[in-house]
Amino acid sequence: MNSLGFLPGMQKKATIITKCSNFTVKKAANNETVYSGKVTGPLHQDDVNQDVWIANFSKVKEKGKFYLDIPGVGRSSDFEIGDKVYDFAFYTAMRGFYLWRCGTAVEGEHNGLHYAHAPCHMQDGYQDYIGIENSKRDGTGGWHDAGDYGKYTVNAGATVGVLFLAWDHFQDHLKNVSLDIPDTAPGYPDFLKELKWETDWLLKMQYPDGSGKVSHKLTRLNFSPFIMPEKDSEKRYFTDWSSAATADFAAMLAMAARYFKPYDAKYAQTCLQAATKSYTFLTNNPDNKRPNLRAFRTGGYQTSDTDDRLWATAEMWETTGEAKYLKDFEARAVAAGTGRKRSGSTSKIDENWDWGNVRNLGMFTYLLSEKKGKNADILKDVRGDLLSTADAIVAKGNKDVYGRALNGRYYWGCNGAVARQTLVLQVANKISPKPDYVNTTLDIAGHLFGRNYYGRSYVTGLGHQPPLNPHDRRSGADDIKEPWPGYLVGGGHSARGWKDVQKDYRTNEIAINWQAALVYVLAGFANTHTSAPADDNIQVTEREPDVIFVPTPQVVVDKMLEMAEIKTGDVLYDLGCGDGRIVVTATKRYGIKTFGFDIDPKRVRESLANVKSNKVGHLVTIKQADIFTLDLREANVVTLYLLPELNVKLMPQLAQLKPGSRIVSHDFDMRGAKPVQVYHMKLAREKDSKEDNEDKEDNFRGIFEEFLEEDFGETVEDIFWDKKHAIYKWIVPWEKEATTPPNQE
C-alpha cells in the first residue's frame, strides 16, 4: 500500500498477495475496529505472475494511525490518514534539487543525519569543443543531472518544464512553502528560487558569439568515479550545439520570463531576450542539428528537434502573445509526425513521454492558455486527445493490480514515466474535472511509495523500506550508510527486474527528469491544508456589496444541491459565496470542483477559513471578484442567493453556459426565464433541541446585528424560522417566462 498514507476524503486501496476474504481497519493506538470489508479477487496479472486481492477502505475518513488486520494473512504496517501525509515527502523531494546544486556548497538534515558537500566544479567550463581552444568561461551553477555530475540542456528541458507546470497548477499551496534553502533569489518563493538556480546556469549555455546557439551539455569527457563532487577536478567542457537543446532553452527561458516576472521584472526580461535570440536562430536554421559528441562518453540525450521546436513556439506565444508564435505552433501541431509517437497513433497527446518527446508540454500550454486567437478546430482536437489519453491512463491504472498505469511497459527510467503520467491526468482534470483522474493520480503516488510488486518505496529516505543503494556518486562516496534523501530511482526493465544495487545504473539510478515528475505528483496534494491565499491578496473594495449577507440554512443548501442534480465531473460556481457553505458542502458531498466568488473581503475571509477547516482546498477555490465581470462558461452548475434584479442582470452571462447547465437560486426568481422547478420549504424548528434552536437564532442575530435597528417588520425568530424558503431551478437554455405561474411542488 501507499506507505506515506492517505488523504481523508480520497480513495484508499491495498494489494494483498495471499489468499484472503475479509479485512478490518483498526486504530494503531488501541486496536479499535473502524471499518470492516471484503476484498475483491483473486485477480491475476501476468507480468508479475501473481494472484492478488484488493482491499478498498476508502470509506474510512477518520484521521489517525491505523493498520489492516487480515485473517489468515496478518497485520499490515501502520499507516496514516491525514491532511499532511504528502507534505514532508514533497519538501524532501523538492529539496533534492537543492542538494543537487553544482558550483556551491550544500547541506541538509534528514532523519538525524547530516548530508553535505563542499563547493564543486568551480572551473566550469572550457570551450575547446565549440571552437575556442584553451579558453574558459563561466559555466558554474545549475544542477547535477543524475547519479553523475554532468549538466545537460535537453534533460533540463523536461525537468524545468515539468517543474514550472507544477508551479502553474499548484502555486496557491506552494508559494508559502519553505524549503529551508539559501536565499539565492531574494523575494522569490522558495520553489521558484530553486528553479532560478537552474535558469541562471542555463543562461550561460548560449554560445558567446551572440548567435543564439546553445551547447548540448557541459561535462567531462567521461564519467567520474564514485567520488564526492568537490573531488572531481577533471576538465569539463561546453559541447557542440544542438537544435533540440536550443529549442528547449528557448522554451525554458520563455517560461522563466513569465513566472519570474512578478518577482524580478529585469531578470524576466533577460530570460525573454535570451529565449527570443535562440528562437530567432532556430527560425533561420530550420534543419535538425545533432551535436558532435564523439569525444565524450557521458550522457548523450540525442534527440530530433520536432517536439522541442513545438514546445518552444507554445511558450514564446504564451509569454509574448505575439501572433507569429501562435501561427508557428498551430502549423506544427497539425503536422504529421510531430515528436516521437507510438506507431500508428494520431493523438496529439502522449501517455508515455520524457526528454525525447516533450510535445505534451507545448500542448498543455496551448490548451490551458487564456489568450485569444486559438484555432477552434485545433483546440478541439487537442482537448479531445487529452481527455482520451487521460481516460486510457485511468483504464490501465484500474486494470493493473498495483495501480501502475504504464500498461506493462518497463524500461530505463520507467518510474519517472509513471510519475509523469500524472501531468496528463491533472491537466485533464483542470479542463474536465473527474474524480477518476485524481484517484488514478493518487494510485500512481501509492505505487511509487510502496503499492508495488516489491512492497517498497522507490524514493530514498521516504516510505517503507526505501532504496538503500541508488546509483548516485554522492551516496556511494560519503561515509553515511543511508543514501541522500528524497530521490526517485528509475525502476526495473521488467516487472520483477529492479535491483537495489549501486552499480545497476539501468534500474537504480536517480535523475532530475524523473525527480521533477515525482515533485509534480506530490505538489498536487501537499500543503493543501494551507492553500488559502494570503490575507494580503484580499483587497478592500470601494464598491459596496450588492446584497446584505444572509446565510442560507444548511437544509436549504442541501436541497439546492439535490435539485442541481450534481454528477461526477461537474464544476459549480457560487456567485456571492458568503461564508462558503455551498461550495464546501458540494465538494465534501459530491467530490466536485467548486468556485466561490464574493466582492466583500469579510466574506472571502470567512469562506477561506471554512475551506481550510473542512480540508477541501484541493478542490475548492475562493476568489474575491465582481460577479458581473466573470466568465461563467467553465461552470455547469451555478448557485445564487441574490435579488431578482441582480439575477436578471446576470442573465447575459448565464446564457453563455453550456447546454444542460443548471442554475439554482435561493428565494428569488429570474424574471424573463421560466424555471423548470420551484420548491417551497419551511424550516422545522422541532427537529433540534431548544438550545440548538436558540444557538442558530443567536448566530443569525449576530450576522444581522448591524441591520436590526432597521424596521424589518418581523422578529429575528420570524425571519429565521417562519419564513418560507423558495428554490428556483433553470436548465440552460431556459424557456422564456410564461404568463402563467410554473407548477410548484
Cell output for 147:
547519479
Compute how many other C-beta atoms are within 10 angstroms of the C-beta atom of residue 560: 26
Phi, psi of 167 (to 5 degrees): -65, -45
* Biggest distance spanned by C-alpha atoms of the chain: 92
| DSSP symbol at 616 | -
Cα–Cα–Cα angle for 101, 144, 139, rounded to 5 degrees: 80
d(CA 145, CA 125): 16
Full 3-state SS string of 208-244: CCCCCCEECEEECCCCCCCCCHHHCCCCCEECCECHH
Q: Which of 121, 173, 216, 471 is catalytic?
A: 471
| Nearest Cα to Cα of residue 110 among 475, 403, 504 | 475
| DSSP symbol at 721 | I
Give residue 549's identity as a one-letter amino acid code: F
Q: Which of 145, 148, 307, 574 is catalytic?
A: 148
List, in order, residues 6 or more apart from 314 with CB less than 8 Å away. 251, 325, 329, 361, 362, 363, 365, 366
**Torsion, Cα of 367, 371, 372, 378 (10° steps):** -20
The alpha-carbon radius of gyration of the chain (Å, integer) is 28
d(CA 641, CA 559): 14
d(CA 569, CA 108): 42
Q: Which of 80, 500, 546, 717 is catalytic?
A: 500
Cβ–Cβ < 8 Å for 459, 448 = yes
730: three-class secondary structure by DSSP: strand
148 in catalytic set: yes
State which H helix or E strand residue 597 sits in: strand 593-598
| DSSP symbol at 23 | E
| DSSP symbol at 719 | I
Q: If you write DSSP's letter for every residue of 360-411 in order, what string do you get?
A: HHHHHHHHH---S---HHHHHHHHHHHHHHHHHHHHHHHHSTT--TTTT---
End-to-end CA distance of the chain: 49
d(CA 429, CA 387): 9
| DSSP symbol at 647 | H
Beta strands in 469-591 (DSSP E): 571-575
Q: Which of 305, 315, 443, 509 is catalytic?
A: 509
Is the peptide bond between 675 and the residue preceding it cis, with omega within 30 degrees of 0? no
Sign of CA dihedral 364, 261, 243, 204: negative
Compute how many other C-beta atoms are within 10 angstroms of the C-beta atom of residue 549: 18
d(CA 460, CA 462): 6
| Nearest Cα to Cα of residue 97 among 462, 482, 473, 487 | 487
Cα–Cα–Cα angle for 248, 252, 258, rounded to 5 degrees: 150
Cell output for 400:
493493473
State which H helix or E strand residue 250 sits in: helix 243-260
3-state helix, strand, coil in the chain (%, to 5): 40, 15, 45
471 in catalytic set: yes
509 in catalytic set: yes
d(CA 595, CA 614): 15
Cell output for 486:
528524497
| Nearest Cα to Cα of residue 610 among 551, 563, 562 | 551
Q: How far is CA 174 from its chain centroid?
A: 10
List, in order, residues 6 or more apart from 100 with CB less than 8 Å away. 143, 144, 512
Catalogue the active-site residues. Answer: 148, 471, 500, 509
